[in-house]
Amino acid sequence: MNKLVLVPCPYQGHINPMLQLGTFLHSKGFSITIVHTQFNSPSSSNHPEFTFIPIPDGLTAPIVSSGNIIAILQTINASCEASFEHCLTTQIMKQDPEKKIACIIYDEFMYFPAAAATHLNIRTFILRTTATANFLARSTVIELHSKGLIPFPESVSSDPVPQLHPIRFKDLPISPWDTIEKFLELIVSSHDVRRSSAILCNTTVCLDQSSLARVQQHCRVPIFCIGPLHKITTAASSSLLEEDASCIEWLDKQAPKSVIYVSLGSVACIGEKELAEMAWGLANSKHPFLWVIRPGSITGSDWIELLPREFREAIGERSFIVKWAPQREVLAHGAVGAFWTHCGWNSTLESISEGVPMICKPCFSDQKVHTRHVSQVWKLGLELGDEFERGEIERAVRKILENSDGEEIRVRAKDMKEKIDVSMSKGGSTYNFLNELVELIMGF
């Protein structure tokens, strides 16, 4: 069977769906080559079935340590265009030369493969790893900026953005890392889909139907909604950090649906004050909680040194803190009753797919768009206010886990899980899109 070349964006929330898609396509008989940056390179040992090829990414230690994701992605795109073409012609095409490269699938933020694909006449697909509603929100940012309406004045921040219900100006996915102009350069490049055979979205029709028709008008190539990708195969973990499985033993000892799982994902950081409010809000709720605190995610400390000592004494056995969890397994565990999430798209999809209601506290960009959809459109969770405030956190945990007014959310979460299960089973929308995709690639 022919070869497929996959190019993930080097962040956890992008590597996971790309490798999950790779696992699925491998199960259909394609041989898979992952071309990746040296920065945040995925672990090849978890995926012996793939060929991994690193290419020079042009990143320097100061750019990486700046944490400016826009600058990092632009550097990679500028540096990798030539090295990618070199890698295709000198390595990938020469290995198993009887197998041709059927197509290249690249993350929307890794648009550098497009040039080589055009020169070498290879088809491409773009993988979008966030909700389709987020694409519309980004397109709106481009439009508002062209009319001089961005940056917007503070006075309108809580006003609704016209035709983007339920997004307010303050929810628009604008990057916190660089100037609006640099951000828009990246977005405009990632939105250029003219040379692609199709766009693959890690979402499913039952979630994103209302945005989908509008996105289709913007992008004149077919859109395949093939998510949730983590459910289409049992892909091995592609975690960049080591998963601490001891939390599963702790979950085994907790009552059904009693635990709140807390994680702010792979990039977001918080300060000492927010940490204290989170800690006391969780402790005061009196519910057990499993809390992922990523090393370096609390500004000014290596790990949990800044957690108040009285807090640690107060919670005793009632909580479990890990550096990184096997999140998909955690969310599928019967003891987990709710997820306090930053609403990165993978976390959101993983929670929805397991019928776990959410408390949403977005940190930046697309997370705010996802939060508004979870809380206002799908009504599968609660949105916390702009401040971290312990009283509000305690009330939210109680509401989502125990109160009768949280019951409607819990029922809807269960219903949505069932709809997603239907979309993945024979004849469902995701099932059909995946089959069409495989047939399309086989025909190349």
Binding site for ligand UDX (CB under 6 A): 11-14, 16, 130, 239, 263, 265-267, 292, 324-325, 327-328, 344-347, 350, 365-367
Closest distance of CB 350 from ligand UDX, Å: 5
Closest distance of CB 59 from ligand UDX, Å: 18
Q: Which is nearer to ligand UDX, 103 or 420 (CB)?
A: 420
d(CA 92, CA 125): 18
Closest distance of CB 89 from ligand UDX, Å: 31
Chain-centroid distance, C-alpha 257:
25
Q: Which is nearer to ligand UDX, 53 or 177 (CB)?
A: 177
Q: Which is nearer to ligand UDX, 102 or 330 (CB)?
A: 330
Q: Is 228 exposed, middle or buried (0-12, 13-18, 19+ CB in 10 A)?
A: buried
Q: Which is nearer to ligand UDX, 57 or 85 (CB)?
A: 57
Q: 85-104 burial, b for 16+ CB within 10 Å, e for fewer?
A: bebbeeebbeeeeeeebbbb
Radius of gyration of the CA atoms of the chain, in A: 22
Residue nearest to ligand UDX (CB): 344
Question: Phi/psi of residue 238, each to 5°?
Answer: -120, 35
Q: Which is nearer to ligand UDX, 19 or 117 (CB)?
A: 19
Q: Which is nearer to ligand UDX, 85 or 350 (CB)?
A: 350
Q: Count the neighbouring beta carbons within 10 Å of the beta carbon of residue 130.
A: 27
Closest distance of CB 9 from ligand UDX, Å: 8
Scan for tokens 């079935």, then name that residue.
49
Q: Which is nearer to ligand UDX, 102 or 228 (CB)?
A: 228
443's tokens: 């025909």
Closest distance of CB 287 from ligand UDX, Å: 19
Q: Which is nearer to ligand UDX, 350 or 394 (CB)?
A: 350
Q: Which is nearer to ligand UDX, 128 or 145 (CB)?
A: 128
- Within 8 A by CB and 6+ apart from 396, the residues are 281, 359, 382, 384
- Within 8 A by CB and 6+ apart from 86, the residues are none
Closest distance of CB 231 from ligand UDX, Å: 12
d(CA 80, CA 207): 35
Determine the Cα angle at 203 with ends 134 and 201, to 5°.
Answer: 75
Residue 22: its H or E element = helix 12-27
d(CA 373, CA 360): 10
Q: Is 177 helix (H, G, I), strand (E, B) or coil?
A: coil
d(CA 431, CA 225): 10
d(CA 282, CA 315): 9
300's tokens: 């000014």
Closest distance of CB 365 from ligand UDX, Å: 6
Closest distance of CB 280 from ligand UDX, Å: 22
Closest distance of CB 240 from ligand UDX, Å: 9
